[in-house]
């Protein structure tokens, strides 16, 4: 299992476009991928789950990858989050 925290620093938070990009990036992987925010944990492959978190700008999120391709999945998600302005 790999866990990484990121500060979502873009000005609009985790709104529809970056949320859909995260879900699209997560979906091809076999590993279980989750997103935690304010003690809520959702499936990162579910757009409804990700959007339900309401992640605001400046918030800390935790990405969790667990499974056979967890390293590759985390690298892809980390790359995408950094391109959206998130920092670890």
What beta strand segments (E) does 1-88 contain?
2-8, 32-37, 40-43, 59-66, 86-87
Q: Where are the domains of the chain?
A: 2-87
**Other Cβ atoms within 10 Å of 18 Cβ, number:** 21
Rounded CA separation 42/59 (Å): 16
* Set 2, 4, 10, 15: catalytic member: 15
Q: Which fold has domain 2-87?
A: 3.30.1340
**What's 67's DSSP letter?**
S
Average pLDDT value for residue range 62-88: 91
Which of the four pLDDT bands, split at 50, 70 and 90, describes residue 67? very high
15 assigned to active site? yes
Place of tokens 């990121």: 6
What is the predicted pLDDT for the residue at 66? 98
Q: What is the pLDDT of residues 7-64, one digit of tens each?
A: 977 677 788 888 999 999 999 999 999 999 999 999 999 999 999 999 998 899 999 9
pLDDT for 34 equals 98
Return the pLDDT at 32: 98
The CA distance from 8 to 55, in Å, is 8
């Amino acid at each position: 299992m790999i866990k990484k925290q990121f500060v979502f620093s873009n000005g609009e938070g985790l709104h529809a476009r970056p949320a859909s990009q995260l879900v699209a990036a997560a979906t091809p992987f076999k590993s279980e991928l989750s997103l935690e925010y304010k003690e809520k944990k959702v499936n990162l492959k579910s757009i409804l789950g990700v959007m339900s978190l309401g992640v605001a700008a400046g918030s800390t999120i935790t990405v969790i990858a667990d499974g056979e391709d967890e390293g590759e999945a985390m690298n892809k998600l980390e790359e995408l989050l950094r391109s959206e302005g998130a920092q670890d």
